[in-house]
């Protein structure tokens, strides 16, 4: 089959590789219909992880079940399914309490709980930017979708970014009527803003500097804040009579930068501590790494990020972090899509055949105007 293979920093190729096969009786093989490029893939693409050459990338996958192992009974060949990016066993302590993103069994790496497809440090699993994908514990992991081709571009957001954006608002403790500040207007930030609107926020600020992304935020009813035009905290304080927001979502991650492009991994955390009112919650879904050899300072290379913890403590704020447990939300979000209450496809900018993946990566990585979210179609 054809697959998108990591070759080294800023180099992916579409290469002929062996088809995946059923390795365990609880596996399924999915023929991928849509697979997305994610901002998380860019950490690997930019050489900011230890991902090995030859890895098939892709953790945002959906498709049609092609084969199932002998122990699979709920999922059938021919089912249309969304594949959560987390690979979870379903029976460990964390899975049983709904934290499938910290499954204790699926990642063999010492000290790492939680596994994913095609990702650095997340276990030996290949990704789905390919024609076929092996899914472990298929009965537990796969989410059934209505048959046919309807809502394909909405359902494809269920494997990661729609649940992740929703999780950001959940970790932030968002309540109806709240004002919320979302930092980052990439796909995850825009999904957090969409989720906040659905959950009844009274005002949703979205902070970024990319004009096209801020325009999309405005289109769904959020208030765009351009951090290249001035301090985003001051801008939000000015229009909230100095009160700030009730909660906030971090959808940027450790490569947060100032308007000149200089990285400051603590910048967005500091801004959130300032802009969120005392006792408010902060949901951090942007990724921070325990090791980042590409960081500017020795501290940050060890994952030590000196944010304004003193003010955070004084304000009695709360913070939630980590990878999203997709299964906690994906059924509900699927049903919001089916009834028309949610339409996460609004951010799709490009639909490319798999063979054009390298161009997709390059433009999305450069944040070229209009390249908000790239979908790959292996069958095209």
Ligand X SMILES: NC(=O)c1ccc[n+]([C@@H]2O[C@H](COP(=O)([O-])OP(=O)(O)OC[C@H]3O[C@@H](n4cnc5c(N)ncnc54)[C@H](O)[C@@H]3O)[C@@H](O)[C@H]2O)c1
- Binding site residues, ligand X, CB under 6 A: 38-40, 42-43, 160-161, 164, 183-189, 207-210, 213, 227, 251-253, 256-257, 267-268, 285-287, 323-324, 367
Nearer to ligand X, 256 or 348 (CB): 256
State the Cα–Cα distance between residues 220 and 114, nearest whole angstrom. Answer: 33
Nearer to ligand X, 189 or 280 (CB): 189
Residue with the closest Cβ to Zn ion? 38
The distance of closest approach from Cβ of residue 328 to Zn ion in the complex, given in angstroms and rounded to an integer, is 14
The distance of closest approach from Cβ of residue 88 to Zn ion in the complex, given in angstroms and rounded to an integer, is 5
Under the binding rule (CB under 5 A), the answer on residue 92 touching Zn ion is: yes
The distance of closest approach from Cβ of residue 55 to ligand X in the complex, given in angstroms and rounded to an integer, is 16
Under the binding rule (CB under 5 A), the answer on residue 169 touching Zn ion is: no
The partner in contact with residue 251, picked from Zn ion, ligand X, none with C-beta cut-offs of 5 to 8 angstroms by kind, is ligand X
Residues between 121 and 160 with contacts to Zn ion, criterion CB under 5 A: 160
Number of residues that bind Zn ion (CB under 5 A): 10
Nearer to Zn ion, 141 or 169 (CB): 141
Q: Applying CB under 5 A, which part among 58-66, 167-175, 268-276, 280-288 lies near Zn ion?
A: 58-66
State the Cα–Cα distance between residues 210 and 226, nearest whole angstrom. Answer: 8
The distance of closest approach from Cβ of residue 328 to ligand X in the complex, given in angstroms and rounded to an integer, is 11
The partner in contact with residue 92, picked from Zn ion, ligand X, none with C-beta cut-offs of 5 to 8 angstroms by kind, is Zn ion
The distance of closest approach from Cβ of residue 23 to ligand X in the complex, given in angstroms and rounded to an integer, is 26
State the Cα–Cα distance between residues 300 and 282, nearest whole angstrom. Answer: 21
The distance of closest approach from Cβ of residue 148 to ligand X in the complex, given in angstroms and rounded to an integer, is 27
The partner in contact with residue 155, picked from Zn ion, ligand X, none with C-beta cut-offs of 5 to 8 angstroms by kind, is none
Under the binding rule (CB under 5 A), the answer on residue 103 touching Zn ion is: yes
The distance of closest approach from Cβ of residue 86 to ligand X in the complex, given in angstroms and rounded to an integer, is 8
Per CB under 5 A, the list member of 33, 34, 35, 40 interacting with Zn ion is 40
Q: Applying CB under 5 A, which part among 13-21, 90-98, 148-156, 367-375 lies near Zn ion?
A: 90-98
Per CB under 5 A, the list member of 44, 57, 95, 158 interacting with Zn ion is 95
Per CB under 5 A, the list member of 89, 191, 268, 337 interacting with Zn ion is 89
The distance of closest approach from Cβ of residue 258 to Zn ion in the complex, given in angstroms and rounded to an integer, is 25
Buried b (16+ CB within 10 A) or exposed e, 185-218: bbbbbbbbbbbbbebebebbbbbbbbeebbebbe
Q: Which residues of the shown chain bind Zn ion in the complex (CB under 5 A)? A: 38, 40, 60, 88-89, 92, 95, 103, 105, 160
């Amino acid at each position: 089959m054809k697959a998108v293979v990591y070759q080294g920093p800023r180099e992916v190729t579409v290469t002929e590789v062996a088809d995946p096969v059923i390795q365990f009786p609880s596996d399924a093989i999915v023929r991928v219909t849509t697979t997305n490029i994610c901002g998380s893939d860019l950490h690997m693409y930019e050489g900011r992880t230890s991902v090995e050459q030859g890895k098939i990338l892709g953790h945002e996958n959906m498709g049609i079940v092609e084969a199932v192992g002998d122990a699979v009974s709920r999922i059938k060949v021919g089912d249309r399914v969304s594949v959560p990016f987390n690979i979870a066993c379903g029976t460990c302590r964390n899975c049983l309490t709904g934290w499938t993103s910290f499954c204790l069994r699926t990642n063999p790496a010492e000290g790492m709980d939680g596994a994913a497809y095609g990702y650095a440090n997340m276990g030996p699993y290949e990704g789905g930017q390919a024609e076929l994908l092996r899914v472990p514990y298929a009965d537990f992991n796969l989410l059934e979708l209505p048959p046919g081709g309807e809502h394909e571009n909405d359902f494809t957001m269920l494997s990661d970014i729609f649940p992740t954006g929703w999780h950001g608002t959940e970790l932030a403790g968002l309540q109806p009527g709240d004002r919320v500040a979302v930092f980052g207007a990439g796909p995850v930030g825009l999904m957090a803003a969409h989720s906040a609107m659905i959950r009844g926020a009274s005002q949703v600020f979205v902070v970024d500097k990319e004009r096209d992304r801020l325009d999309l935020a405005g289109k769904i009813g959020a208030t765009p804040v351009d951090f290249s035009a001035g301090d985003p905290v001051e801008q939000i304080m000015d229009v909230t009579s100095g009160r700030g927001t009730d909660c906030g979502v971090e959808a940027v991650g450790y490569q947060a930068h100032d308007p000149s492009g200089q990285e400051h991994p603590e910048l967005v955390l500091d801004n959130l501590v300032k802009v969120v009112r005392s006792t408010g919650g902060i949901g951090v879904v942007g990724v921070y790494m325990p090791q980042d050899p590409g960081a500017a300072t020795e501290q940050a290379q060890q994952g030590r990020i000196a944010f304004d913890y003193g003010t955070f403590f004084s304000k009695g704020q709360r913070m939630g972090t980590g990878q999203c447990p997709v299964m906690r939300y994906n059924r509900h979000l699927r049903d919001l899509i089916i009834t028309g209450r949610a339409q996460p496809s609004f951010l799709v900018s490009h639909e490319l055949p798999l063979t054009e993946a390298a161009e997709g990566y390059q433009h999305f990585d450069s944040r070229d105007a209009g390249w908000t979210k790239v979908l790959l179609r292996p069958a095209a």
